[in-house]
Amino acid sequence: MKHTLSILVNNHPGVMSHVSGLFTRRGYNIDSIAVGVTDNVDVSSMTIVLNGDDFIVGQVKNQLLKLPDVLKVQDMAYASSVQRELVLVSFSITENNRSEALTICNGFDVKILEMTEDSLLIEFSGNSRQVTNVISVIKPFGIREISRTGQIAIAYRNQNSV
């Protein structure tokens, strides 16, 4: 099962290695990792998606909390949090399928950043499933380059609002 861990860490060099090293060392695979500084410049927020049962995730959580630079670890339940990922894709188009491509982009709420004679550069954000979905629809056109941010997440304040 996929789990999304939201981790607050001290923002200084080496912390990323400490955290990712912990996963390597215990043989756990990270599906995605996204890091950014918070409103407090001394603190960064990391979102890590990993696959594992509750026992494994419990272990990871316990081990993470032992790292001095880790301030907080939260296991984000899907239903009570917002999860988003951003993807940038550049793909090939031809005269013949250009309008089909544009229709798809419109339908999926995709942002077009650049259009040349034979290519489109688009931006899309959504939950991981939506992102994967958009990519699979675009794929037949011929993807030239792709860049995904990895998932970020934040819990809803009001846990009853869902």
Partner 1 sequence: MSSTTEAITGGRLMVELLEEAGVEIVFGYPGGAILPFYDELYHSKKIKHILVRHEQGAVHMAEGYARSTGKLGVCIATSGPGATNLITGLTDAKLDSIPILAITGQVATDAIGTDAFQEADIFGITIPITKYNALIKKADDLARHFEEAIKIAMGGRPGPVLLDFPKDVQLEKTSVRKASSLKIAPHHYERPKVKGDPQEFAEALNQAKRPLLYVGGGAINSFASAEIKALAEKANAPVTTTLMGLGAFPGTHPLSVGMLGMHGTAYANKAVLECDYILNLGARFDDRVAKYQDFAPNAVRAHVDIDAAEFNKRINVDYILHGDLKDAIREILPFVKGGERTSWIENIQTLKKNHPLDFDNSGDSIKPQDFLHRVYTKTKGEAIVSTDVGQHQMWAAQYYLFDRPNTWLTSGGLGTMGYGLPAAIGAKFGNPDKTVICVTGDGSFQMCIQELATIAQSKLGVKILLFNNNFLGMVRQWQELFYEERFSESQWTYNPNFVKLAEAYGIPAMKIEHKSEIEKGVDFFLKDSGSALIEVMIPAEEKVFPMIPAGKSQQDLIEFKDLGKLKK
Sequence-distant (6+) residues with CB within 8 A of 128 are: 32, 49, 83, 85, 151
Q: Please identify, using beta-carbon distances, which residue of 62 and 103 lies nearer to partner 1.
A: 62
Give me 102's structure tokens.
Answer: 């544009």
Q: Which residues pair with 75 in a beta bridge?
A: 5
Dist CA 33 CA 13 (whole Å):
17
Residue 27 binding partner 1, by CB under 8 A: no
Least Cβ distance, residue 116 to partner 1 (angstroms): 39
Q: Please identify, using beta-carbon distances, which residue of 17 and 159 lies nearer to partner 1.
A: 17
Applying CB under 8 A, among 1, 27, 68, 158 the residue interacting with partner 1 is 68
Q: Choose the stretch contacting partner 1; rule: CB under 8 A; options: 56-64, 92-100, 114-122, 137-145.
A: 56-64
Annotate 49-81 with DSSP letters as a single string: EEE--HHHHHHHHHHHHHSTTEEEEEEE-GGGE
Applying CB under 8 A, among 40, 51, 62, 94 the residue interacting with partner 1 is 62
Q: Which residues pair with 89 in a beta bridge?
A: 122, 146
Least Cβ distance, residue 93 to partner 1 (angstroms): 44
The Cα-based distances of 101 to 64, 72, 106 in angstroms read 44, 43, 9
Least Cβ distance, residue 2 to partner 1 (angstroms): 22
Q: Which residues bind partner 1 (CB under 8 A)?
A: 10, 12-14, 17-18, 21-22, 25, 42, 55, 58-59, 62-63, 65-66, 68-69, 71
